[in-house]
Amino acid sequence: MSQPPAKPSPKSEIAKAAKLRRVRRLSYILDNAIPIPGTSYRIGIDPLLGLLPGGGDILGSGFSAYIVLEAALLGLPRETLVRMALNIVLETLAGTVPVVGDFFDATWKANVKNIALLEAHLDSPRQSQKADWWFIILLLGGLMLFVMAIAALSIVILRLLWQVINF
């Protein structure tokens, strides 16, 4: 006979709540911390970081990857973690387009979407397989390699444009 799942200890529930608060706060800072005067719309520092060629995208995506890592540690399944990584990839890809990409970054809010995915799973945990460490390492490593490649490409394009302008 199978036994009912063990109840989590109060200490683990407190640690889980602390992690959730931490990633919510980070998501808020990245996507909603700054109010636009005269409107009810808010942006975060993520689109502002994207204005820095190359390094800004890497830094912003690193913070976003941290949210995915914490979600993995909270037991999210592979499918949800992949969806979270795809949100970051889409935001990074669109962010490479000058001006338009920054507006997309300010409206897409990948971190807010990822927190919603995390909370949806925690509110109604489904019986799905928790991601193993190798999967998490490969997912986050691949994500950061992709972001660095996009950042390097944007720097190369800026350098080429600079050479054309100054030729």
What is the tens place of the pLDDT at every residue in 104-161? 988 999 999 999 999 999 888 666 677 888 999 999 999 999 988 988 887 888 888 8
* pLDDT confidence tier of residue 81, bands split at 50, 70 and 90: very high
Residue 110 pLDDT? 95
pLDDT at 19 over 80: yes
Identify the domain containing residue 77 by its residue range: 10-165
CA gap 130, 5 in Å, rounded: 15
Instruction: Please state at what angle helix 78-95 crosses helix 110-123, rounded to 10 degrees.
Output: 170
Q: Is residue 144 part of a domain?
A: yes
Q: Is residue 1 part of a domain?
A: no
Q: Is residue 2 part of a domain?
A: no
* pLDDT confidence tier of residue 4, bands split at 50, 70 and 90: low
- Count of structural domains within the chain: 1
Q: Is residue 3 part of a domain?
A: no
CA gap 100, 90 in Å, rounded: 13
CA gap 23, 67 in Å, rounded: 6
Q: Is residue 73 part of a domain?
A: yes
CA gap 21, 26 in Å, rounded: 9
pLDDT in tens, 38-74: 999 999 999 888 888 767 888 889 999 999 999 999 9
Asked whether the beta carbons of 69 and 140 are under 8 A apart, the reply is yes
Q: Is residue 4 part of a domain?
A: no
